[in-house]
Chain A
Amino acid sequence: AQSVSQHNHHVILSEAASLELGCNYSYGGTVNLFWYVQYPGQHLQLLLKYFSGDPLVKGIKGFEAEFIKSKFSFNLRKPSVQWSDTAEYFCAVTKPGGKLIFGQGTELSVKP
């Protein structure tokens, strides 16, 4: 079955630490890739997306993600996290025109 896996369920970091959240998917062929973020008490927001082109994608708030086709991965990175980055992060994948499949989410806690 097609699936999206986020390796870390809960990540705890101190401020200024570097972040990398893993995301792997099981689709073949062309895919569209997304990271969404849900801050406490708020709605899901788009962080960044990849449709085509440069596999290194820049998003909002200093986040970036790299699409590595050979590894079926789309890991999210940030060089230096802030307390305000505390949130739940969801990776999602879709085939063009298909439905969006989400990973289980990774809860990030940043300690001040």
Chain B
Amino acid sequence: ETGVTQTPRHLVMGMTNKKSLKCEQHLGHNAMYWYKQSAKKPLELMFVYSLEERVENNSVPSRFSPECPNSSHLFLHLHTLQPEDSALYLCASSQARVGGNTIYFGEGSWLTVV
């Protein structure tokens, strides 16, 4: 059981499609994240939202567009993706605090671009 819920768990989309990944956290946290997990590569941080404002965009292509309407929800809008974008996309949340914070992850959304 995780306090961070992601939907859909699996998504197959064509390169011309537009789709969205959804994330919801039930932990009362004030920061949310999108990570990309590709095979044999380190987890890559994509976006960080703190208090619903984007505070980091880690050089992610514009075909990925995040949205954070409130502190509990985070979306990743996808359009005109490439096959190399196929990966596990992980949402996470944390309570930002001085001295350090622990990040809690969702189960991930497996994305296949065909």
A residues engaging B (CB < 8 A)?
4, 9, 32, 34, 36, 42-46, 49, 51-52, 90, 92, 94, 96-97, 99-105
Cβ contacts under 8 Å, A4 to chain B: 42
A97 in contact with B90 given A42-B107, A43-B2, A46-B104 (CB within 8 Å): no
Residue contact B2 to A104, C-beta cutoff 8 Å: no
Is A99 a contact partner of B90 (Cβ separation < 8 A)? no
B98 touches which of A46, A94, A96, A105 (Cβ 8 Å): A96
Q: Chain A residue with minimal CB distance to B1?
A: A43
A55 to chain B, nearest CB (A): 15
Q: Which residue of the partner chain, among B42, B103, B105, contacts A105 with CB atoms under 8 Å?
A: B42
Extra inter-chain contacts (11) besides given A45-B105, A97-B96, A97-B100, CB under 8 Å = A9-B40, A32-B100, A34-B103, A36-B105, A43-B108, A44-B108, A46-B102, A49-B100, A51-B99, A99-B48, A105-B43
**Cβ of B45 and Cβ of A100 under 8 Å apart?**
yes
Measured CB to CB, the closest approach of chain A to B6, in angstroms, equals 9
Residue B53 at the chain A interface, CB threshold 8 Å: no
- How far does the alpha carbon of A97 sit from the alpha carbon of B90 in the complex, in Å? 20
Given A43-B2, A44-B105, CB of A104 within 8 Å of CB of B40: yes
Q: How many residue pairs between the two chains, A and B, have CB atoms under 8 Å in the bound complex? A: 51
B contact face: mostly helix, strand, loop, or mixed:
loop
Whether the pair B107, A94 counts as a contact (CB closer than 8 A) is: no
Q: Which residue of A lies closest to B43 (CB)?
A: A102
Closest to B108 in A: A43
CA distance A96 to B96 in the complex (A): 10
* Chain B residues whose CB sits within 8 angstroms of the CB of A101 once the complex forms: 42, 45
Query: Which residue of chain B has its CB nearest to the CB of A33?
Result: B100
User: Which parts of B84-106 form the interface with A (CB within 8 Å)?
Assistant: 90, 92, 96, 98-100, 102-106
Bound CA span A26–B56, Å = 21
Task: Please give, as numbers and ranges, the residues of chain B lying within 8 Å of A36 by CB-CB distance.
Answer: 105
A88 to chain B, nearest CB (A): 10
Residue from B45, B100, B107 within 8 A of A51 (CB atoms): B100
